[in-house]
Amino acid sequence: MAEQNISGTGSGYDPHKIEEKWQRRWAEARAFESEADATKPKYYVLEMLPYPSGTLHMGHMRNYAIGDVVARVKRMRGFNVMHPMGWDAFGLPAENAAIKNNTHPREWTNKNIAEFQRVLRRFGFSYDWRREISTCEPEYYRWNQWFFLRMLDRGLAYRKKSRVNWCPKCCTVLANEQVVNGGYCWRHEDTLVESREIEQWFLKTTAYAEQLLDDLKQLECGWPERVILMQRNWIGKSQGAKVKFAVANVAGAEPIEIFTTRMDTIYGATAVILAPAHPLLPKLLNESPAGAEAHSKLAKMRQTSVKTEELATMEKEGFFTGRYATNPFSGEKIPIWVGNFILMEYGTGAIMAVPAHDQRDMEFCRKYGLPVRVVVQPLEGEELVEEKLMAAFDEHQHGKLVNSGPYNGLSPEAAIAKMTTFAEQKGIGRAETIFRLKDWGISRQRYWGTPIPVIHCSKDGMVPVPDMDLPVLLPPNPKLTGMGESPLAATPEFVNTACPKCGGPARRETDTMDTFVDSSWYFYRYCDPHNDQAPYDAAMADYWFPIDQYIGGITHAILHLLYSRFWCKVMRDLGLIKHNEPAARLFTQGMVQKGGVAMSKSKGNVVGAEDMAQKYGADTGRLYTLFAAPPEKDLEWSEESIEGSWRFLNRVYRLVDRHAESVRGVKGGTIHAATAKEKTLLRKVHQTLRRVTQDFETRWHFNSAIALIMELTNEIYLQEPLEKDVRPEVRREVLELLTLMLAPMAPHLAEELWEMLGHVDGLWKAAWPAFDEVLTREEKVEIPVQVCGRLRGKVQVAAGSGEVEVVRLAQADPVIAQHLAGKRIVKIIFVPDKLLNLVVA
RNA sequence: GCCCGGGUGGCGGAAUGGCAGACGCUGAGGACUUAAAAUCCUCCGGGGAUUUUUCCUCAUGUGGGUUCGACUCCCACCCCGGGCACCA
């Protein structure tokens, strides 16, 4: 161990000894445990819970270091801080590892948790460990089941057939991440993954689409703009109309319903295009004049519609069905086509093609020789000519309608309103808002997840497991092969059960839940982690929520955060909470990279957090991740620059060590500066305090806060020896403030210094100091002097000097005078104590 | 294609319309030492003039603009990173 450490600093700073000592003291004093207390202002700071796999690396560490600074600063600021930690413990890697090593997923998971916990403790993060949760424990996942049943009651959980990735060799369902190289099985890289339809469970996130979108407004001042934007795009609200086009000459064919946001262009429709998967197609093609050729084209198109990645760049293809539809507005008969670029999952799976005013339609129609008809002419500029038009005119703010019967001359906006009303009156269409957001498929055909608490009875159908029978426990000894049917289905003692209604033999549901379910509400459980009557006590959640500061990676900008917001709204409607949004503020920290890519086990570029702690100590590791880049930016790991942080902490240690004895026991009280040295020191330390306070509170510029503290330290060194002309009480003041400012980032060292300075009470109980404005004032200032905006010199003046005085001094400066010579000053810009700019002509 | 974010020394980065490059790393030189490590001190964007000292000039992706003054604000473009992607 010793040979791995940095040695020979000669300073006596021994991070291992210090860190162990203070971690023990904090634990003994229960320094970071907090309880709901209505008399104190609360602050809930939370970092996204980790999936415990592999080693805890500097990427994780950075996330927690940022959260810990916030927690510690807020505590010093007098807040009742809750800062918990837990484990996202269900998931596929545990199952895979278990298959590989022939162990139990629980064993693998718990081993990793123990490892993660040990490392986090070694870094001294100020967590309330009593609140620790692990999502794979029945005490936790029973509440997943309980919530599921509540959603089932309310029709928010349902089952439907849905497409999944299926590996024919594994005979099992694959998660999206297990589909590699654009469509192959991760384990059988020569085997193409198929798309199969099976019955799956869904949660009705779409029921909250409108709220999820609207409430983003409430987050605008606390969440990063881009996260809000990404969510907005994901939800994808689109206002338009559905319109029915009757099908000509096909007996019993119901009308084709299309979705459009450009109702105003309906007179320009020259075709109807259906998705290859459109349910009406078999009927249309049956005995169609297009014949067998169309059938085979459809079959081919349906087969190749697997790979989603190529969709965007794919050439538009289609074929004519031989059938015609009637435009309900113009009465015109237009051909019905099938197009590979029409998605069945969006809208109605059918569109009207308006080539003149939609680029995709344009490309399609030009390729197949379908006519182009202009129905909106631009208000300004050249008139559109149908024969020449290759780029669709799709700006609807600057046009007026033509070739549109009674709607000619209207603006597109007015036309949309009028046409929609007309369609509704005639019963041929209606205004409709659709969303890109889909319901959340939570079924996983896996073992290591929460069993879905439902029983299938041949007599009573699908029966929810009664609350009193929760939790539905995972069977302790599953057969895990990674092949064939899902592990739960292969475990008879799990599957076979009695129907809760009739008592007859029945089968349990064998799907488990997506692990995003676990992380959708875990932060509520922290409020009340041991409750066995409810997921959490409402009063506790009321006190602690919303989360004041949530911190995590941008990778979770959509799914985790959207599901959490959904869950919150469901819980609100269940009467469990009163608020609408779980987290008031969100911070997305940058990734730690090595060689330009994020640290990950698979990339083999991880820098283990523990190695770092071993080599330099936790405080240096923490300080460096905070110093090397602003927290929102990605950080390229550099083994060299960490030395700077290590050296700095040593410098601080030596400084305090040198003076500790002489200031111990010296009384505090009002400080004033008596000598020039004292003035300089006190000014610098209070100026630093002012700016560091700002950096912590409002700007989150931890890197520049550290730079300021380094500058302060350099200044103190320059004033050495402090024994001369600096009284002990001033020395003490300076060193104490330095220590306090360092505390949120290098807490162990700061505690040690605090003790060295003679404090009996731990620093964790200390308050954040207030700066003294009087002491920050400069007596003399150097004012840069510009001539016509260019720097030409500087003048020394007493702080607060007036314009006349400063101009006089500037004119007396030989260099400045040279630039003024022979010219007339036409304007003087003077910012007191800051700048003088003389404009000459 | 659309939407975000970003381009500043050898490197990480600082600068909330007012001295560009704080702070740190690297590098160079010096002090201490028998020596090394550690520590301490000094220097470190380019070009030019003056070569004790200082001055001029260029420079924050490129080109314009606003302003007494722009890394910062506005417009256009280039490059890099990320997200979404035939969403009707």
pLDDT of residue A309: 47
Å: A779 CA to B54 C1': 28
CB of A323 under 7 A from strand B? Answer: no
Which nucleotide is closest, CA of A794 to its C1'?
Answer: B19
Instruction: Please answer whether residues A498 and A124 qualify as being in contact, where contact means their C-beta atoms are separated by less than 8 angstroms.
Output: no
pLDDT of residue A556: 83
Protein chain A, residues 791-810, with a C-beta closer than 7 Å to any atom of nucleic acid strand B: 791-794
The CATH fold assigned to A146-204+440-513 is: Methionyl-trna Synthetase; domain 2 (2.170.220)
* Sequence-distant (≥ 6) Cβ neighbours of residue A414 within 8 angstroms: none
* Sequence-distant (≥ 6) Cβ neighbours of residue A105 within 8 angstroms: A94, A95, A97, A98, A447, A448, A480
Which nucleotide is closest, CA of A241 to its C1'?
Answer: B88
CB of A262 under 7 A from strand B? Answer: yes
CB of A260 under 7 A from strand B? Answer: yes
Å: A10 CA to B30 C1': 22
Protein chain A, residues 74-93, with a C-beta closer than 7 Å to any atom of nucleic acid strand B: none
CB of A651 under 7 A from strand B? Answer: yes
pLDDT of residue A8: 42
Give the 3-state DSSP-derived string for A629-686, with helices as H, strands as E and coil as C: CCCCCCEECCCCCHHHHHHHHHHHHHHHHHHHHHHCCCCCCCCCCCCHHHHHHHHHHH
Which nucleotide is closest, CA of A714 to its C1'?
Answer: B23
Protein chain A, residues 751-790, with a C-beta closer than 7 Å to any atom of nucleic acid strand B: 782, 784, 786, 788-790
Which nucleotide is closest, CA of A644 to its C1'?
Answer: B24
Which nucleotide is closest, CA of A233 to its C1'?
Answer: B84
CB of A347 under 7 A from strand B? Answer: yes
Which nucleotide is closest, CA of A701 to its C1'?
Answer: B14
Which nucleotide is closest, CA of A309 to its C1'?
Answer: B85
Å: A643 CA to B41 C1': 20
Which nucleotide is closest, CA of A559 to its C1'?
Answer: B83
Which nucleotide is closest, CA of A648 to its C1'?
Answer: B24
CB of A261 under 7 A from strand B? Answer: yes
The CATH fold assigned to A780-840 is: Ubiquitin-like (UB roll) (3.10.20)
Token code pair at residue A729: 């009480």
CB of A369 under 7 A from strand B? Answer: no
Please measure the distance between the N-terminal and C-terminal CA atoms of chain A and give it in whole angstroms. Answer: 72
Name the residue with the least CA to C1' distance from nucleotide B86: A341
pLDDT < 50: residue spans in chain A: 1-9, 305-309
Instruction: Please answer whether residues A618 and A748 qualify as being in contact, where contact means their C-beta atoms are separated by less than 8 angstroms.
Output: yes
pLDDT of residue A182: 60
Distance between CA atoms of A679 and A670, rounded to whole angstroms? 14
Å: A163 CA to B14 C1': 52
Structural Rg of chain A based on CA atoms: 35
Which nucleotide is closest, CA of A643 to its C1'?
Answer: B25
| Domain at A237-435: CATH architecture | Alpha-Beta Complex (3.90)
Å: A48 CA to B82 C1': 21
CATH of segment(s) A37-135+209-233+515-637 = 3.40.50.620
Q: Which sign does the torsion angle of CA A32, A36, A37, A42 carry?
A: positive
Cis before A546? omega within 30: yes
Which residues, in sequence order, are bridge partners of residue A243?
A: A258, A429
Distance between CA atoms of A204 and A152, rounded to whole angstroms? 10
Bases of chain B with protein Cβ within 7 A: 3-5, 11-16, 18-20, 22-26, 37-41, 54-57, 68-70, 82-88
Which nucleotide is closest, CA of A436 to its C1'?
Answer: B87
CB of A26 under 7 A from strand B? Answer: no
Give the CA distances from residue A489 to residues A119, A147, A172, A492, A510, in Å, rounded to whole numbers and listed in that order: 38, 23, 12, 7, 5
- Residue A615's closest CA among A10, A57, A1? A1
Å: A376 CA to B8 C1': 49
CB of A313 under 7 A from strand B? Answer: yes
Which nucleotide is closest, CA of A640 to its C1'?
Answer: B25
Name the residue with the least CA to C1' distance from nucleotide B6: A633
Number of helices (H), then strands (E), belonging to chain A: the values are 25, 34
DSSP of A527-568: TSTT-SSSSS-HHHHHHHPSBSEEEEEGGGTTHHHHHHHHHH
Task: Show me where the domains of chain A are located.
Answer: 37-135+209-233+515-637, 146-204+440-513, 237-435, 640-776, 780-840
Name the residue with the least CA to C1' distance from nucleotide B25: A641
Instruction: Please answer whether residues A61 and A122 qualify as being in contact, where contact means their C-beta atoms are separated by less than 8 angstroms.
Output: no
CB of A349 under 7 A from strand B? Answer: yes
CB of A675 under 7 A from strand B? Answer: no
- Residue A456's closest CA among A514, A521, A509? A509
> What number is the ipTM of this complex?
0.93
φ/ψ (deg, to 5) at A216: -60, -30
Token code pair at residue A46: 């939370």
Å: A644 CA to B33 C1': 24
Exposure b/e, A94-114, CB count within 10 A at least 16 = b: bbbbbbeeeebbbebbbebbe
Which residues, in sequence order, are bridge partners of residue A660?
A: none
CB of A12 under 7 A from strand B? Answer: no
Protein chain A, residues 461-480, with a C-beta closer than 7 Å to any atom of nucleic acid strand B: none
CB of A316 under 7 A from strand B? Answer: yes
Indicate the class that CATH gives domain A640-776. Answer: mainly alpha
Protein chain A, residues 230-259, with a C-beta closer than 7 Å to any atom of nucleic acid strand B: 230, 233-234, 236, 238, 240, 259
